Amino acid sequence: MSDLNTSNTPSKEKLISDIKQLVADVEELLHVTTEQANEKVAGLQARIRENLSATRRQLTEVEAVASDKATVAIQEAVRKVSEAAEAAAVAAQNAAQTAEEAAKKSAESGKEAVQRAAEATREATHTAAAAAKEAAVKALDILKNWVH
């Protein structure tokens, strides 16, 4: 996510907005001066039209690159959340397994209670991990729909 500098995002958006406004103002100037018959004005208008066309293309490319970088950063974040949820599920299952093994080693009188507690812990952990993973999958689906 380091490719997307969120602190610069507002200034990039402002720059893009300013350039769009400049393009609109120059187009209006071209329209207003269209009736001028002067050769210098005609030559200037042609150069301005060429520059405006190039600026529009470059602005479109800049916006696309910024959007692509944001999309990649979001996808990476969602992937990391999904991996973290999966790692949490594995760790929780390992903890539940350890608790169950401890219950098996405990004294016979408390063995059933400890086993029930270990089973309840395993089920709760599994449910929580499944919910976290489902949330990450849904976030990824939303992102995929947003991108396409």
Position 11 scores a pLDDT of: 66
Cβ atoms within 10 Å, residue 85: 20
Position 123 scores a pLDDT of: 75
* Contact between residue 78 and residue 143 where contact means Cβ atoms under 8 Å apart: yes
Is 109 within a domain?
A: yes
Is 92 within a domain?
A: yes
Helices (H), the chain: 9-32, 39-105, 108-147
Is 3 within a domain?
A: no
Is 90 within a domain?
A: yes
The Cβ-side half-sphere exposure at 56, using a 13 Å CA radius, reads 10
Is 2 within a domain?
A: no
DSSP 108-142: HHHHHHHHHHHHHHHHHHHHHHHHHHHHHHHHHHH
Is 1 within a domain?
A: no
Predicted model pTM: 0.45
| Residue reference for tokens 């910024």 | 66
CA dihedral 114, 116, 117, 122 (to 10 degrees): 120
Rg of the chain taking only CA atoms, in angstroms:
30
Mean pLDDT, 10 residues at a time, over the chain (148 residues)?
46 74 77 68 77 81 80 76 70 70 62 72 72 70 63
Overall number of domains in the chain = 1
CA 13 vs CA 16, 19, 67, 75, 147: distances in Å: 5, 10, 11, 21, 19
Range of the domain at 76: 9-147
Position 6 scores a pLDDT of: 46
Position 7 scores a pLDDT of: 46
